[in-house]
Amino acid sequence: MSFSSDIKDELCRLQNENQCCRFAELAGILRTGLIIREVRNRNLLLFITEHALVSRMVYSRIKEIVPDGVEISGEKTTRFKRHVVYRLNLTGITAFKEGNELLGSVGINISLPEKTIEYSDFDISERCCIRAYLRGGFLAVGSVTNPDKSYHVELAFTDSRISSEFMKYMEYFELKPKLIQRKNYDIVYMKEGQDIVDFLNVINAHNALLEMENIRVLKDMRNQVNRLVNCETANLEKTVNASLKQVSYIKYLDDTVGIENLPANLKEVARLRMEHPEASLSELGKMLNPALGKSGVNHRMRKLEKIASDLMQKEK
Ligand SMILES: [Zn+2]
């Protein structure tokens, strides 16, 4: 199962919701998820979802209000292999007073002959209800990619009034949604891990939030380890480059004056460097007898370099 459908499962099972929030959630579902489609010369008002629990939830919520207004038509439309679509036919609600009141109360104006759905403002004043409204929208038209792969949450709206309304409510919770157009949809999306965690919190998907946080912690640790490895590689490269340079001027000294003719303290360092080109300065220092610190070894290296470069100058 995908991360998205796990979240929707969790949200469909939420209980003890306030009555005000239940209504706001249904409004969020209806204001985002309804479409009109022509089927066998009839214009039908439909709600289509790939998610079994969402279809069942919408079905029972509508049935509570308009008992004869909803039917499951083509419960499982297998378009592709293993791709199941649940289709609710809500055309019937327009034949009932309760149905039209419901549509009116959530700011939806439908014309089946003209195949249009128009939305008027739908004001929500309570913070709890705004969360529920966003949750309804997510259940109907939202998805989250698996956080193992990337961070991406999006809601796809068919109406620009609704997309800007959702952005406004998301910003109310200090989320930072962005908008792009894709085909005939307004896609409201977020790509920051923190935004997605905050969004899951707002819509009350707390199990999903915890799972996402776990994955983020693991990902961060992996990145940190990679950074450390890269950093170590860089340090090693620095040591090796310095050593190669030192070896080259010590070789030069050996060819010209001979290592044996250098002062005793320099002779020993030069010999060890030639024998251990991979060693760091402090490692070289430990091989000396008596041992010498890193800066002491560095000092002698510089002296060797100075003698070598002086000799080169003279030769020019
Ligand atoms: Zn509420």
Residue 169 clears pLDDT 90, i.e. is over it = yes
| Cα dist from 278 to 282, 283, 299, whole Å | 12, 10, 19
Looking at residue 88, its pLDDT comes to 93
Alpha-carbon torsion angle 91, 97, 98, 100, nearest 10? 50
Model confidence at 22: pLDDT above 60: yes
Question: Separation of 26 CA from ligand 1 center, angstroms?
Answer: 12
Are the CB atoms for 147 and 199 separated by under 8 Å?
Answer: no
CA of 50 to the centre of ligand 1 (A): 27
Please list the alpha-helical segments (H only) found in 127-192.
127-141, 160-172
| Residue 189: predicted pLDDT | 97
pLDDT band, very low/low/confident/very high, at 316 (cuts 50, 70, 90): low
Spacing, Cα 74 to ligand 1 middle (Å) = 34
Instruction: Indicate the residue type of 272.
Output: L
Expressed in angstroms and rounded, the spacing between residue 70 Cα and the centre of ligand 1 is 25
Average pLDDT of the chain is 90
Cα 313 from Cα 309, distance rounded (Å): 6
Q: 209 CA to middle of ligand 1, Å?
A: 21
pLDDT at 30 over 90: yes
d(CA 164, CA 169): 9
pLDDT digits over 197-234, tens only?
Answer: 999 999 999 889 888 888 888 887 788 778 777 877 77
Q: Which residues contact 233 (CB under 8 A, 6 or more apart)?
A: none
pLDDT tens string 253-283: 888 888 888 888 899 999 999 888 888 899 9
Q: At 157, is the pLDDT very low, low, confident or very high (cuts 50, 70, 90)?
A: very high
Distances (CA, A) of 203 to 20, 29, 305: 15, 13, 68
Is pLDDT above 80 for 50? yes
Q: Which residues contact 170 (CB under 8 A, 6 or more apart)?
A: 134, 177, 188, 199, 202
Q: For the domain covering 3-204, report its CATH number.
A: 3.10.28.10
**CA 173 – ligand 1 centroid, Å:** 15
- What is the secondary structure of 236-254 as a DSSP string? HHHHHHHHHHHHHHHHHHH
What are the residue ranges spanned by the domains of the chain?
3-204, 220-315
Give the DSSP letter of residue 177. Answer: -
Measured CA angle at 11 (ends 142, 191), to 5 deg? 40
124 alpha carbon – ligand 1 mean position (Å): 9
Instruction: Please give the sequence-ordered ranges of beta strands (E in DSSP) within 68-201, or none if there are none.
Output: 71-72, 77-80, 83-89, 108-111, 116-119, 142-144, 153-157, 178-182, 185-190
pTM for the model stands at: 0.72
Which residue, among 266, 276, 277, 273, has the nearest Cα to 304 in the 3D structure?
A: 266
Measure 135 CA to ligand 1 centroid, in angstroms.
12
- H/E segment holding residue 49: strand 42-49
Residue among 188, 202, 200 at smallest CA distance from 155: 188
Q: Would you state the structure tokens that stand for residue 271, as one six-digit string? A: 């010999």
Tell me the one-letter amino acid at 9.
Answer: D
Residue 310 corresponds to which amino acid? D
Distance from the CA of 25 to the center of ligand 1, in angstroms? 9
DSSP secondary structure letter of residue 259: G
